[in-house]
Amino acid sequence: MTVPGTRALASVATALLAATLLTACGSSEVPEGADPDLVDAAEVPEAGVCRNLEGQALTAATDATPHVECDEPHNSETYAAGTLPEQFHDLSVASPDLDQWAYQTCTRELRRHLGADESTVMRSVFSWVWYRPSERAWKDGARWYRCDAVAGGPQTSALMDLPTVTGQLLAKKGEDRWMACAQGDSFDAAKAIPCSQDHDWRAVTTIKLGEPDAPYPGDNQAQVTTRDFCSDSVDAWLSYPGDFDFGYTWFGESEWEAGNRRSICWAQTEK
């Protein structure tokens, strides 16, 4: 028996993709709780800095959340930052080209930071949000980007606190607290949680749907291919038990255009 996978249960590792597709806003006043020196900052942000991102900071195009020491409770860490490539300097701060570049850059750099391959990161609770200068700072010539690692997302109740050091955290077999599972009798109604909690489903493998230059195959083909591949993949992961349940997460054209070519396979298991 198979449990039909749905796009409703977003992978924890990619659930924050929407945060890369927002429009930057100008800054006319200092938001509550913000660091005034960061609101319209022109300087490139510092990597290795930790923060506690909350509320609108998770869905905004720019961010001025104050720093905290990384050995204090925090839920985000800047793992990559720098100057945008020159080809983007004459674009609007809200250009979709920036979002696509940031998706590819932040995704690649997160894998490097965590010390893991694409499949492992997609099956983890880690994701990222990215920020750019405010509209005012952009008009004044600021051209920086910032990628922040977070654990958890919209499918979980809250972002998880991060350890003092996240670098190479997934280089060896990931601890269950950092891997993605889900809880619920039905996969399409399950809630994403860390695997360290009691769970009914585990993200066990990913499957590749196409090469980087391949055109989007269409919703139906992407879903059918994911379903068929995941059936075989989960069967093998469970050591061919005969009867088994599985789910799958596939992603649509917007994610494909941003650079994602993988779907996620879930096994019904309490392990």
Report angle CA 218, 117, 187 to the nearest 5 degrees: 55
Q: What is the CA radius of gyration of the chain?
A: 19
**pLDDT tens profile 168-211:** 999 988 799 999 999 999 998 899 999 999 999 999 999 999 99
**pLDDT tens profile 212-264:** 999 999 999 999 999 999 999 999 999 999 999 999 999 999 999 989 999 99
Mean pLDDT of the chain: 88
Contact present, 78 and 148 (Cβ < 8 Å): yes
Domain definitions of the chain by residue range: 15-151, 176-268
Higher pLDDT, 47 or 57: 47
pTM of the model: 0.86
Contact present, 10 and 127 (Cβ < 8 Å): no
Instruction: Give the Cβ contact number of residue 115 at 10 Å.
Output: 15
